[in-house]
């Protein structure tokens, strides 16, 4: 699908349009941004592959100096090496702890804790490193690298199968190996003597033939995974070998511990063609993806994202977004009529990471150094009628008028959101045929205006304030 660029000089930004999704340039001039997280406020923290973490403010400006610089400790010579993962402790506001996943100068994985600077919240203390966990990597690729805290307060870590091709030592199925796994550890009381503990309900505790840290296994290279902020469901996008890319979903209402996602016995739903499956577990003991796609269309490497739970774009509610590095498609899944249905749109970019801000709005980064905010392009500024309610003028200056003369809907509330998804003005319907809304107290820029009915139904439109 073709995309076009529409400059809005007033706002010093560009928009890349497609049928349903829109990419709005949020920040640029970064160096291989491969992880995006928030720390409980309106800033984004971006991990660059060479070993820096930078802060992007809500207006898209980048703080200087970097939040953290561990370039000298990080090996990033391989395409899949470097500083790969970032996660902030759930109590970061109080304890100042955050965690990183990187490849060290020996080529091995290191999970470390750092602390925020005691006097400057925009700086970390590079000398505060506490190594939590490390394990060797036999090859330079398939390092996994994502970190995330679950709603249980434990740290989850994705590890790739160790690299090469076809998992030559079958590490993913080997429970004595840390590779090809999703690990789960307790880092709430870390010390140098006891950097982590094993959660009591980890599935392989007491099994002498398995590592206690393992939560799930049978992964090839889970480059990205995420938890649904509304349901706590676990989404894992696992990069395929030569044929298929897959998305795995584990519901929080099920018992997720000890699941086997099938690699290398299966690539997606298909038995591995390049190795014997004679010694693989029974098919009914494996977890298969909820969605997969083959490489016939040029796909090669899936980048998992998040399920949209923001407020600015109700049409995207519940959609799981992801991308492919080779096709440059950004796609989403929505559960409709009993199945997960895919919508894919093509944008120019090497998409390697998605991010979720404090309000649930989503971002995507390209290796070129750009970060874009993901918008819903169906909210067109040219459509000045919303549920037959006329909204004018748009763009607005001091006051906005809403004409309800042709509407018989029960509009109850009018809410204006900024592009970070924060409600900046809430107005109750006053019953007048034409209701006036003061907007002179809002800064110039692009907003989203949502109308909510008494029954909870809502519609949203883009609003510009000059």
In 9-167, beta strands by DSSP E: 13-17, 21-27, 33-37, 44-48, 52-56, 68-69, 83-88, 97-103, 109-116, 124-135, 147-149, 155-159
In the predicted structure, residue 274 carries a pLDDT above the cut 70: no
The residue assigned the tokens 């944008």 is: 347
How distant, in Å, are the alpha carbons of 135, 196, 347, 389 from that of 193?
Answer: 18, 9, 48, 65
Residue 296 dihedral angles phi and psi, to the nearest 5°: -65, -25
- Which contacts qualify for 5-9: CB closer than 8 Å, 24 or more apart? 8/446
Contacts of 296 (CB under 8 A, 6+ apart): none
Same topology between domain 4-376 and domain 385-465: no
In the predicted structure, residue 17 carries a pLDDT above the cut 50: no
The residue assigned the tokens 């404090």 is: 358
Candidates 177, 145, 180; CA nearest to 161 is: 180
pLDDT at 320: 98
**Residue 276's pLDDT band (cuts 50, 70, 90):** low
pLDDT at 366: 98
Span 242-261, mean pLDDT? 92
Span 334-347, mean pLDDT? 92
**Residue 273's pLDDT band (cuts 50, 70, 90):** low
Contact in structure between 161 and 219 (CB atoms under 8 Å)? yes
In the predicted structure, residue 420 carries a pLDDT above the cut 80: no
Pick one of 3.30.479.30, 3.30.870.10, 2.60.40.1930, 2.30.30.100 as the CATH number of 385-465. Answer: 2.60.40.1930
pLDDT at 452: 83
Per-residue pLDDT reduced to its tens digit, 452-463: 887 677 777 778
Give the range among 42-46, 269-273, 460-464 with minimum mean pLDDT: 269-273
CA–CA separation, 226 vs 37, rounded Å? 11
Candidates 61, 104, 36, 20; CA nearest to 351 is: 36
pLDDT at 303: 98
pLDDT at 2: 28
Fold of 4-376: Neuraminidase (2.120.10)
Per-residue pLDDT reduced to its tens digit, 176-234: 999 999 999 999 999 999 999 999 999 999 999 999 999 999 999 999 999 999 999 99
Give the pTM.
0.81
Q: Please provide the size of the chain in residues.
A: 466
Per-residue pLDDT reduced to its tens digit, 60-88: 999 999 999 999 999 999 899 999 999 99
pLDDT at 3: 31
pLDDT at 392: 85
pLDDT: is 184 or 408 the higher one? 184
In the predicted structure, residue 7 carries a pLDDT above the cut 50: no
pLDDT at 460: 76
Per-residue pLDDT reduced to its tens digit, 125-183: 999 999 999 999 999 999 999 999 999 999 999 999 999 999 999 999 999 999 999 99
pLDDT: is 44 or 433 the higher one? 44
- Any idea what DSSP says for residue 300? -
Domain boundaries of the chain, sorted by first residue: 4-376, 385-465
Q: What is the mean pLDDT of the chain?
A: 90
CA pseudo-torsion sign 127, 130, 135, 140: negative
Give the range among 109-113, 218-222, 259-263, 452-456 with minimum mean pLDDT: 452-456
In the predicted structure, residue 383 carries a pLDDT above the cut 60: no
Candidates 209, 219, 238; CA nearest to 172 is: 219
């Amino acid at each position: 699908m073709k995309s076009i660029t529409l400059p809005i000089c007033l706002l010093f930004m560009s928009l890349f349009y497609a049928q349903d999704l829109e990419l709005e340039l949020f920040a640029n001039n970064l160096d291989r941004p491969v992880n995006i997280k928030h720390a409980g406020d309106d800033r984004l923290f971006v991990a660059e592959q060479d070993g820096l973490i930078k802060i992007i403010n809500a207006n898209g400006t980048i703080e200087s100096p970097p939040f953290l610089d561990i370039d000298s400790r990080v090996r990033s010579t391989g395409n899949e090496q470097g500083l790969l993962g970032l996660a902030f402790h759930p109590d970061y506001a109080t304890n100042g702890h955050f965690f990183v996943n990187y490849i060290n100068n020996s080529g091995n994985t290191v999970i470390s804790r750092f602390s925020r600077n005691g006097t400057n919240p925009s700086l970390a203390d590079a000398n505060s490193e506490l190594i939590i966990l490390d394990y060797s990597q036999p090859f330079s690729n398939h390092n996994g690298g994502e970190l995330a805290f679950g709603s249980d307060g434990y740290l989850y870590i994705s590890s790739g199968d160790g690299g090469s091709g076809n998992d030559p030592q079958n590490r993913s199925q080997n429970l004595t190996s840390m590779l090809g796994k999703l690990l789960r550890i307790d880092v709430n009381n870390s010390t140098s003597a006891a950097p982590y503990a094993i959660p009591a309900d980890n599935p392989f505790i007491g099994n002498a033939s398995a590592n206690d840290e393992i939560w799930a296994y049978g992964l090839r290279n889970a480059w990205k995974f995420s938890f649904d902020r509304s349901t706590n469901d676990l989404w894992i996008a696992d990069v395929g070998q030569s044929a298929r890319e897959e998305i795995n979903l584990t519901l929080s209402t099920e018992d997720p511990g000890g699941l086997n996602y099938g690699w290398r016995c299966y690539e997606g739903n298909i038995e591995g063609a390049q190795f014997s499956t004679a010694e693989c577990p029974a098919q009914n003991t494996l977890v298969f993806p909820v969605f997969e796609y083959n490489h016939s269309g040029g796909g090669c490497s899936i980048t998992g994202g998040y399920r949209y739970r923001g407020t600015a774009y109700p049409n995207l509610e519940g959609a799981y977004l992801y991308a492919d590095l080779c096709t440059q498609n950004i796609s989403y899944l929505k559960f409709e009529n009993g199945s997960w249905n895919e919508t894919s749109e093509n944008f120019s970019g090497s998409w390697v990471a998605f991010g979720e801000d404090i309000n649930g709005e989503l971002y995507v980064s390209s290796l070129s150094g750009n970060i874009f905010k993901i918008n819903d392009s169906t909210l067109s500024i040219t459509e000045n009628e919303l549920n037959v309610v006329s909204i004018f003028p748009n763009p607005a200056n001091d006051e906005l008028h809403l004409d309800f003369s042709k509407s018989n809907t029960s509009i109850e509330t009018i809410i204006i959101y900024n592009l970070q998804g924060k409600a900046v003005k809430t107005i109750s319907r006053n019953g007048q045929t034409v209701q006036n809304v003061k907007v002179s107290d809002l800064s110039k820029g692009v907003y989203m205006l949502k109308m909510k009915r008494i029954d909870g139904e809502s519609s949203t439109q883009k609003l510009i304030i000059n």
